[in-house]
Structure 1
């Protein structure tokens, strides 16, 4: 079986947080935030709104976009760093609230690479014949794990959710747009301290520091290097050259990383999708949110050759290549 993208959904919390609002709380300025990150606004969930609530909205919209009913979904995979609870996983709850029935549903944790890890896993389920329609969601409420006094992280991250429906297609059928052509996954566990939440896990169960921490300069270098290497391996598997790529959709970490990545790959900057300026870094939700926004505004058209790539804590990285489907975001 081949894998095709048949549905797309996105959801952002209503609360929009500006650089001016954050500058009144932190030792910074709107100009400093934008010059360092390219971010102007981000969305934060209201107190009491959980990651699962955002995933529910995006997932439902993706199912509608695909023209399916909840009962058509065979499997749900949720990528998140901010689950509703340490136990149980969030995906089964979301699946039940969506009315998917007693299908398999589980979480994937690969931080900002999580959505592409989930995408590759869903692709494997489909090609193995285990599922005909898979709901893949990336959802985060990073506002719940940010140190209120840390300007290096609080100004960067936002909340949101995005989702794709992946569906099986017989390889003997007439080929069309939307085919997922190749994926690539990798990790390096020797540098876990670059991106982490120190306390709260079994290593430091009594640890008091339960906020998200990141070594920005080291992460920048690793992100560009690892995404570039992974993207090139993915291109090689499809037989594409960088000149064949119509749209580069990198993890929306900040504008400087996206610009450096395009330059590293030799892809013109105007082909790179930038969504981080309006939503911030939404971790596992960033790529599906960027896809939805680009599709909604005509920057993705059916048949476009699209290269996705991400980098996150672990360290982890991932890439995927597909031709863009004829879908309308839900």
Structure 2
């Protein structure tokens, strides 16, 4: 069974107040107030000098469970939102593979689900390991990116992007077992940030129900109900959208882990995994707890997964 053997989080040292981003992002004072007061955002993470390679290596350095087990890693997967993450001909993922001594592993990227690609990568890695049937084999999944272009720094009217990164060691054991995974792609919104005003409005209207649908599907596939979820580890877009979705599906708002949202920004595919590490360190996850990760990728894919701690 697919399991999270270990998860590490790297949070860059620089936290930038969203007020200071107004000029860079072309935000009015009213829009800044909306992000701060209505959406619950205050700061975003920035790696001022580091590259995407540095983000991944810093996350891997905190993954102590990887040390001494490098030979067991069969796959290295970078789950990302952006198709282009560095100028040609740079290849950050393979630079990381070489630096970590993992040249024997198969390395590839998953981008098709945008910000929901992290959950896809974990589920896919588990299936690959299961099909190989090699005892003790592992996959290493990286999530989190650099907001290295203006269009990658904000989802207008929705979220501000941060630069945290997580490294996820996937195995087939019984620790943090993946109980279910569900996803749905609504291809009519494939234009993403280039949607027309009319289609953008339609997407906003359908968003809560579409996310609720995959949450309920994942919960049902896990053989439980939403009442059995102890913690929800969301993607950090904004507070108001998550409160609305939680109420729609019957999840008590206090079970949403929203602690990181004001201080990290939306860190692409990494949010749920950064939230996992924070919740674990704060004692919000106990043995036997069932928790849900959920994410939405522009384009548009909705995904949710249920795990048992």
Structure-2-length-normalised TM-score: 0.86
Give how far 1:122 is off. Answer: 0.8
Aligned to 2:52: 51
Is residue 81–residue 297 contact of structure 2 (8 Å, CA) maintained in 1? Answer: no
Is residue 230–residue 289 contact of structure 2 (8 Å, CA) maintained in 1? Answer: yes
Aligned to 2:14: 15
Aligned to 2:160: 156
Give how far 1:85 is off. Answer: 4.1
Q: Can you list the C-alpha shifts for 1:35-83, whole angstroms capped at 9, x where unaligned?
A: 2321111111224x22222122213323x14665333322111111342
Cα distance in 2 between the residues matched to 1:33 and 1:45: 22
Aligned to 2:118: 115
Aligned length: 299
Paired residue secondary structure (1:43):
strand
Q: Can you list the C-alpha shifts for 1:6-62, whole angstroms capped at 9, x where unaligned?
A: 111111222210133234764226543212321111111224x22222122213323
Paired residue secondary structure (2:118):
helix
Is residue 77–residue 136 contact of structure 1 (8 Å, CA) maintained in 2? Answer: yes
1:299 to 267, 272, 284: 284
**Aligned: 1:318 with 2:303:** yes
Cα distance in 1 between the residues matched to 2:298 and 2:155: 19
TM alignment of 1:218-237, pairs within 5 A: 218-237=202-221
Cα distance in 2 between the residues matched to 1:291 and 1:60: 18
Aligned to 1:210: none
Paired residue secondary structure (1:190):
helix
Aligned to 2:93: 91
TM alignment of 1:1-330, pairs within 5 A: 2-23=1-22, 26-28=27-29, 31-47=33-49, 49-62=50-63, 64-65=64-65, 68-82=68-82, 83-85=85-87, 90-109=92-111, 110-129=113-132, 132-146=137-151, 152=156, 156-169=160-173, 176-195=174-193, 218-274=202-258, 275-324=260-309
Q: Can you give the 5+ residue segments of structure 2 that lack an aligned partner in the other structure?
A: none
Is residue 185–residue 317 contact of structure 1 (8 Å, CA) maintained in 2? Answer: yes
Change (3 A) 1:67 1:231: farther
Is residue 37–residue 156 contact of structure 1 (8 Å, CA) maintained in 2? Answer: no
Cα distance in 2 between the residues matched to 1:5 and 1:273: 19
Structure 1 or 2: more helix by fraction:
2
Cα distance in 1 between the residues matched to 2:158 and 2:140: 30
Give how far 1:284 is off. Answer: 0.8
Cα distance in 2 between the residues matched to 1:239 and 1:129: 27
Paired residue secondary structure (1:146):
helix
Cα distance in 2 between the residues matched to 1:162 and 1:224: 27
Paired residue secondary structure (2:132):
coil
Paired residue secondary structure (2:41):
coil
